[in-house]
Amino acid sequence: MATLYQNKGHWLLTVQHQGRRLTRSLRTKDKKVAKQLKPYVESQLILELTGLKKAINPIGFPALSTRFLKASKKRSKNTQDLYEYVLKSYLNGNPLPTNPNSRAIFVRTINACWNWGIKQGLITKAYKLEGDTKGETRNRVISDSELKTLLDEIRDDRFNLFVRFAYYTGARSGEIRCISRENIFDKHIVAYGKSGKRLIKLNNQAQEILDGLDELWDYTKGFVSHKFKKEARRLGIGDIRFHDLRRTFGYNLIRQGRPIYEVSKLLGHSSVTTTERHYAALLATEIDDFVL
């Protein structure tokens, strides 16, 4: 008989067989995740109780995740930081995020760890989580009036320049926050971020901002996100994220008639296909009226 129960917020599973009992923590506070894991852990405990197999997994998920995080030296710093954050939260038993995109990132990361363990021969069974691994596509672009309000009315002058620089270059927050003086060149900068090393084109507006800075920005990811949303709320602009500046950068360039190949290069996408996928839904509304 198998029983799923909660103790101090964490879900555990206990299995009884012929007077013997084994209990194992499912390492989660999320009931839905616990129910997904139940059949796999139950089968493992039954095999252990009956003596048919001592254990399905030679190592547990905590040890597996530690090896996974140390395994690849090719990951960018941002990717490594994301993996560490997700796996630490999961191992602490925190519920998966309710936001569809954040939840998809968690599921994708946790399952990647399980898949890696299988490929490395460290485990023989992967207890992967079910659910969406892509999340919802966000198509929010900032209107011309909203953009003017943001660029004109953000009070903190230094942060205002950060926002302007993000829009003028289409760079990600992490790429801007990692800029160093030795990586600034005439008409471009060398940046390191989500996609690794890439060149970011500097137009005259972006170049002017860098030329006028005494010190480069040393913001954290959290500060940028919260500060931007706080300023937007103050200005009456809702449903907005800092990354929407990057999407708006690409959208406005395409609206101006820039070839999508150029826009793809400016955004640092791996291929034009990626750019088309991101902007197809947005640009469908820009097609001129036609008669059949």
Measured from the Cβ of residue 285, the count of other Cβ atoms closer than 10 Å reads 7
* Most confident stretch, 17-21, 93-97, 190-194, 286-290: 93-97
Report the chain's mean pLDDT, rounded to a whole number.
88
| pLDDT band, very low/low/confident/very high, at 285 (cuts 50, 70, 90) | low
- Name all contacts of 67-74 with Cβ < 8 Å and 24+ positions apart: 67/117, 67/120, 67/122, 68/112, 68/113, 68/116, 68/117, 71/116, 71/120
Give the C-alpha separation, 209 to 243, whole Å. Answer: 20
Tell me: pLDDT of 48 over 60: yes
Tell me: pLDDT of 288 over 70: no
What does the pLDDT average to over 188-197?
83
Domain ranges of the chain: 2-50, 61-119, 144-286
Cβ–Cβ < 8 Å for 250, 181: no
Give the C-alpha separation, 152 to 166, whole Å. Answer: 15
Under DSSP, is residue 64 helix (H, G, I), strand (E, B) or coil? helix
Comparing 147 with 2, the larger pLDDT belongs to 147
Give the C-alpha separation, 249 to 167, whole Å. Answer: 6
* Reported pTM: 0.65
Residue 61 half-sphere exposure, CB side, CA atoms within 13 Å? 25
Comparing 260 with 137, the larger pLDDT belongs to 260
Q: Read off the tokens for 195.
A: 């996609």
What does the pLDDT average to over 48-66?
75
* Most confident stretch, 19-23, 57-61, 160-164: 160-164
- Name all contacts of 53-60 with Cβ < 8 Å and 24+ positions apart: 56/123, 56/124, 56/125, 57/123, 57/124, 57/125, 58/122, 58/123, 58/124, 59/117, 59/122, 59/123
Range in 37-41, 54-58, 206-210, 281-285 with the lowest mean pLDDT: 54-58
Q: What is the pLDDT of residue 77?
A: 78
- Residue type at 110? I
Q: What is the pLDDT of residue 54?
A: 54
CATH topology classification for 144-286: hpI Integrase; Chain A (1.10.443)
Tell me: pLDDT of 185 over 80: yes
Cβ–Cβ < 8 Å for 154, 163: yes
Q: Read off the tokens for 95.
A: 């519920």
| pLDDT band, very low/low/confident/very high, at 60 (cuts 50, 70, 90) | confident
- Residue type at 127? Y
| pLDDT band, very low/low/confident/very high, at 40 (cuts 50, 70, 90) | confident
**Strand bridging mode 196-201 / 10-17:** unpaired
Cβ–Cβ < 8 Å for 174, 198: no
106: Cβ contacts below 8 Å, ≥ 6 apart: 86, 89, 90, 96, 97
What does the pLDDT average to over 102-111?
93
Give the C-alpha separation, 26 to 12, whole Å. Answer: 5
Is the four-CA dihedral 173, 178, 181, 182 of positive or negative sign?
A: negative
